Amino acid sequence: MPDLYPVEGRPMLTAERLKELLLYDPETGAWIWLIPTSNRVASGAMAGRKGGCGYWQIGIDGKRYPSARLAFLYMTGKWPSAYIDHVDRDSDNNRWANLREATNSQNMANRPKASSNTSGYKGVTWARRDKKWAAQIMVNGRWIGLGYFVDPKLASAAYVSAALKYFGAFSHA
């Protein structure tokens, strides 16, 4: 989990310091500099840029922070204990209503099916040896087999049912 620890020689960023420097609009997810910490930006300018992983980041006092984690700090006064999940899976949408704290399993459950998926259904693969469709789900880092099916739609239904059971509102098929 990034950004929970201070940069050597610097105190950890607090909500008070964050609010001193930046204004967060929970309706739009936008950040505006009140007092820039770099001479590269001006007061009143939009803060942040896209990082390498596709998430918005903001540099404060020489350290980059994911803007979704900063929104959590700004709104609650504390750092998230684990991950911040985008409800709609859009990393550009940092509106407060679209952000929620999540475990790693919950965060992974909200991902779309892999681009390499050939079945067309999340959690469903072709079991060549059995000549059937296999459904499986990962929960807390462990794979759980959900059965073998003659139809990929039936395997998908098994996955969807398990995702709702294990992840509730975080499930996404």
Q: What pLDDT shows up at residue 156?
A: 95
> 156 and 121: one domain?
yes
Q: Using the 3D structure, point to which of 102, 123, 145 is the last residue of a domain.
A: 102
**CB of 47 within 8 A of CB of 40?**
no
How far from the centroid of its chain's Cα atoms is residue 169's Cα? 14
In a domain, 10, yes or no: no
> 160 and 94: one domain?
no
In a domain, 56, yes or no: yes
Instruction: Dig out the tokens for 162 from the structure.
Output: 């398990």
Coil, strand, or helix at residue 99?
strand
> 97 and 121: one domain?
no
**10-69 pLDDT per residue, tens:** 568 999 999 999 999 999 999 999 999 888 889 999 999 998 888 899 999 889 999 999
**61-107 pLDDT per residue, tens:** 889 999 999 999 999 999 999 999 999 999 999 999 999 999 988 98
Residue (of 58, 61, 83, 95) closest to 4 by Cα position: 83
**96-119 pLDDT per residue, tens:** 999 999 998 898 888 888 888 889
Q: Using the 3D structure, point to which of 56, 84, 102 is the last residue of a domain.
A: 102
CATH of the domain at 126: 3.30.730.10
> 79 and 125: one domain?
no
**CB of 138 within 8 A of CB of 167?**
no
> 88 and 117: one domain?
no
Coil, strand, or helix at residue 110?
coil
| Residue 120 belongs to domain spanning | 111-170
Q: How far apart are CA 117 and CA 10, in angstroms?
A: 45
Q: How far apart are CA 47 and CA 38, in angstroms?
A: 11
Instruction: Dig out the tokens for 161 from the structure.
Output: 């049912």
CATH of the domain at 53: 3.90.75.20
